[in-house]
Structure 1
Amino acid sequence: MKYKDYYEVLGLPRSATQDDIKRTYRKLARKYHPDLSKLDDAESRFKEVGEAYGVLKDTEKRAAYDRMGDQWRNGQEFEPPPQWDEGFEFSGADDRGAEDARFSEFFEALFRGEHAGGGRASTGRARHAAGAGRHNATAQEMEDAFSGVPNSTPGQDHHAKVAIDLRDTYRGAQRTISLETPVLDASGRVVLKSRTLDVSIPKGVYGGQHLRLAGQGGAGFGEGRAGDLYLEIALRPQELFRVDGRDVTIDVPVAPWEAALGARITVPTPDGTVEIAIPKGSGGGQRLRLKGKGIPASDPAGTAGDLFARLNIVLPSAGSEQARAAYEALRQACDFNPRAQFSGDLS
């Protein structure tokens, strides 16, 4: 994927005000409009300018884009940094870009694709969650929200993505999180306003799930209720464990004699250690299932995931005379051809 420097596309510095961006876009849109320009690349330039404006005119998109830094160059191979949108608080505003823009792969990856997080980036999921929250409103709140009375406007729902450790899903946790919300300063430049919240992470939460914090979204107008804050949970990368839904997998190194003769070994889990039995004659890549040892259920009626121990047979070094002698004795003692399936007519 190629990085797009939207500031370079518009010919503006990163310190440009929102008014600077609007004026420059209007000038370039006229210059490259396919119906007005005779340049061969007018249409592609027009679309490129439209996409840049679609991001930079929007306070939240621009702040999210700026958050990745300025170390990349236009056209450079690019991959979004891990958890680049963690702790970035979005409102429930519309996520459309410039009307005439056909969005690039770069735009889709950041604001609508798999790399995007809990706000603009996962608009469909967030709006679904927001809708679920609104269904819990009281009759009076619904009446106030749609009564048209100016002093009873409810606040917008907000969305953010937060990363937690895998062990937090096993035990639950109390965490203090920091969120940044983009706002315009007095000179029309985008700045980030920070706040911290104490959050209860429930046991059994999993990656992609949304937690609703009632009343922690945008402020209401007058007597209108505050919006809610929806936190999308992401799991930090784990050194030992891989997560698929509620199932967790760990690669377990075993010695050849443990695999051949069987053994009982201790392996780590996100919630402590467990002892597992290696069956006799186990092979590399074989998975042993520990039922119910994955991410716990989030409610009593739910089902916990499983923990899978994937066996990885590790060979001892033959660096000493004693080790080489042992390997030679093993070779002579075993009538073993690991490539027996290659023999015979393979045509």
Structure 2
Amino acid sequence: MAKNYYDDLGISRQASPEDIKKAYRKLARKYHPDVSKEANAEAMMQAINVAYDTLSDAEKKKQYDFELDHPQAAYDFNGGGGSDTHSGFGQGFDQGYQQGAHQGNAQGGFQGGDFSGFEDLFGRFGKGFGGGQYQQYSNDSRQQSFRGEDQHASIEVDLEIAFHGATQNITLQIPTYNAYGEPEVQRKTLQVKIPKGMKEGQQIRLSKQGQAGINGGEAGDLYIQIHYKQDDKLRVEGADIYYNIDISPWEAALGQEIEVNTPNGKVKVGIPKNTVYGKQLRLKDKGIPAKVPGHLYLILNIVYPKAETEQQVHAYEDLAKAFSHFNPRSH
């Protein structure tokens, strides 16, 4: 029997999908033109690429196995002759197509009684057996190129960048595949321009900075998701900022103006009289300056000082006398 795709990969027809993949990777390591010293490396790499493209696809493999098991069908179609069933079938198809094209037959390219069984063959074996295989065989002499996969990463930056923007050098460890199809971690340092107004969780697209293409294909894109540094006092939701600030009991009771150091600088805020713990003050459009600006929410936390001196103790005693009617547990 003529050499076939199974022979090209050095496997049997009973090989599992995992065995097919392992065989391909092993041969790719040996014959990849970038690293191989074999004289026929390019031709061998081309052959195993074509073989793997067919055998790694369940439908293509099923179709290919059928052709191996029914060589007479291709033999009859070609009018006999040819020990290599695949190349004979492809050549016969190609010659017929070229002949028809020269004759101006755009519908199919075949004329005359020599191809009377053409439609019957396609009806029995499915259109992929003829037209699809022609495309495959006519492309055997070329390696296909594939675009690299898009990749995703995330970085954490200071919230101030949302208001002013910044250009930063970042180093990422990105999972990818090497020239042999093996997984590895790639360390990549990039200069990233972060525009102001980026919301929490938004992405920046870096064109052609993703996984490299195969056989000269275009590289994929890299998407970097922006997250802002947050803590117990600060959190960001979209373009809105929630900021916990501490105030004194007299500021809460008397209603005073205070100065707050926000992520976008200092602002003066009026505390309403008799403010209670946990009250939120909304500063409109003072959040992230996006296309639709966010708001800054100040969450008020009343902090009571310790009574550490005699004078401070007396102050609390006087406060207790002044509010002797107040019982916080009566509610």
Letter in 2 for 1:315: Y
- What is residue 334 of structure 1 aligned with on the other side? 323
- What is residue 72 of structure 1 aligned with on the other side? none
CA displacement at 1:322 relative to structure 2? 0.3
In structure 2, the CA distance between the partners of 1:306 and 1:184, relative to structure 1 (3 Å rule), is closer
CA displacement at 1:202 relative to structure 2? 1.4
CA displacement at 1:326 relative to structure 2? 1.0
Distance 2:154 2:325 in 1: 54
Distance 1:339 1:277 in 2: 26
What is the SS of the residue equivalent to 1:329? helix
CA displacement at 1:194 relative to structure 2? 1.4
Letter in 2 for 1:283: V
- What is residue 227 of structure 1 aligned with on the other side? 220
User: More displaced, 169-178 or 328-337?
Assistant: 328-337
In structure 2, the CA distance between the partners of 1:186 and 1:175, relative to structure 1 (3 Å rule), is closer
- What is residue 258 of structure 1 aligned with on the other side? 251
What is the SS of the residue equivalent to 2:330? helix
- What is residue 34 of structure 2 aligned with on the other side? none
Distance 2:182 2:292 in 1: 49
The structure with the greater share of residues assigned to helix is 2
Match of residue 304, structure 2, among 315, 323, 327? 315
Give a deviation string over 1:250-294, Cα, whole Å, max 9, x none. 111111111111111111211111111111111111111111111
Match of residue 291, structure 1, among 262, 284, 292? 284
Distance 1:340 1:154 in 2: 68
Distance 2:277 2:175 in 1: 51
Higher Rg of the two aligned structures: 2
Match of residue 275, structure 2, among 252, 276, 282? 282
Give a deviation string over 1:173-206, Cα, whole Å, max 9, x none. 1011101234678999965331210001111112
CA contact (8 A) 2:148 2:211 kept: yes
In structure 2, the CA distance between the partners of 1:150 and 1:338, relative to structure 1 (3 Å rule), is farther
RMSD: 2.8
Distance 1:250 1:183 in 2: 39
Distance 1:280 1:201 in 2: 41
Distance 2:275 2:260 in 1: 17
1:170 to 2:163 alignment: yes
Match of residue 179, structure 1, among 163, 172, 193? 172
Distance 1:193 1:319 in 2: 58
CA contact (8 A) 2:283 2:295 kept: yes
CA displacement at 1:316 relative to structure 2? 1.6
**Structure 2 unaligned blocks of 5 or more:** 1-17, 19-138
Distance 1:295 1:238 in 2: 17
Q: How does the TM-score come out when normalised to structure 1?
A: 0.50
**Structure 1 unaligned blocks of 5 or more:** 1-25, 27-147, 343-347
Give a deviation string over 1:106-144, Cα, whole Å, max 9, x none. xxxxxxxxxxxxxxxxxxxxxxxxxxxxxxxxxxxxxxx
Equivalent residues in 2 for 1:82-231, closer than 5 Å: 150=143, 152-182=145-175, 192-222=185-215, 224-231=217-224
Aligned residues: 192
In structure 2, the CA distance between the partners of 1:190 and 1:218, relative to structure 1 (3 Å rule), is closer
Q: How does the TM-score come out when normalised to structure 2?
A: 0.52
In structure 2, the CA distance between the partners of 1:256 and 1:183, relative to structure 1 (3 Å rule), is closer
CA displacement at 1:245 relative to structure 2? 2.0
CA contact (8 A) 2:201 2:225 kept: yes
